[in-house]
Copies of this chain bind each other. A is one copy, B any other.
Amino acid sequence: MTMNTEFENQLKELQTKVNRLEAGTKDQLSMVVFSGDMDKILAAMIIATGAAAYDMKVKLFFTFWAISALRDPKKKVKGKNFMEKMFGMMLPKGSGKVKLSKMNMAGMGTSMIKGIMKKHKVASLEEMFKTAAEIGVEINICEMSMNLMGFKKEEMIDYPKMTVCGVGTFLSDAQESKIQLFI
């Protein structure tokens, strides 16, 4: 009987530990998307939609330059101050405007790559965001970066699971994820 109680206690202890370990390794991918380069955001979205297609939960944290790719070129927001207007003008407006990190050659390289992608039936960045929305990829946008650049959520593309939040959200998502990347 005492033997059994002893077993029971050890079993319970193990179960607690295993549950905690399982909670820490969800089939989830967390990615910081920092870069504003077309090629890097493309790589991020290929990994993200690929993972979601393999039934992983995918959470992207867009920060700094990458946020430009989420701007909707058709939307305008009023009430910005001088600095915020300047940022708005200087940064690319939407996924159609971001440039290659290499061989941009005043836009020529970027257009060339887009043409080749089309020919090879590789989805454009715009199409990637549509697919990502459909298969449930979550997009979090860094609140601090939004404030610094004077961006408002109303300027961003229509996207079902889009939230503005802090770095703490990324960190708690990442802790539970099997895969974490910074792009």
Binding site for B on A (CB under 8 A): 3-4, 7-8, 10-11, 14-15, 17-18, 21-22, 24-25, 27, 29, 32, 34, 36, 39-40, 43, 46-47, 50-51, 54, 56, 63-65, 83, 90, 101-103, 112-113, 116-117, 120, 122, 144, 147-148, 166-168, 170-172, 174-175, 178-183
- Residues of B within 8 Å of A170, CB to CB, are 47
Shortest 3 CB-CB contacts between residues of A and residues of B: A181-B182, A50-B167, A174-B179
The reply to whether A90 and B103 contact each other, CB–CB distance below 8 Å, is yes
In the complex, the chain B residue whose C-beta lies closest to that of A42 is B64
The reply to whether B113 and A54 contact each other, CB–CB distance below 8 Å, is no
Q: Given A10-B15, A11-B14, do A175 and B181 touch, yes or no (CB 8 Å)?
A: no
Q: Given A17-B22, A21-B22, A24-B25, do A148 and B120 touch, yes or no (CB 8 Å)?
A: yes
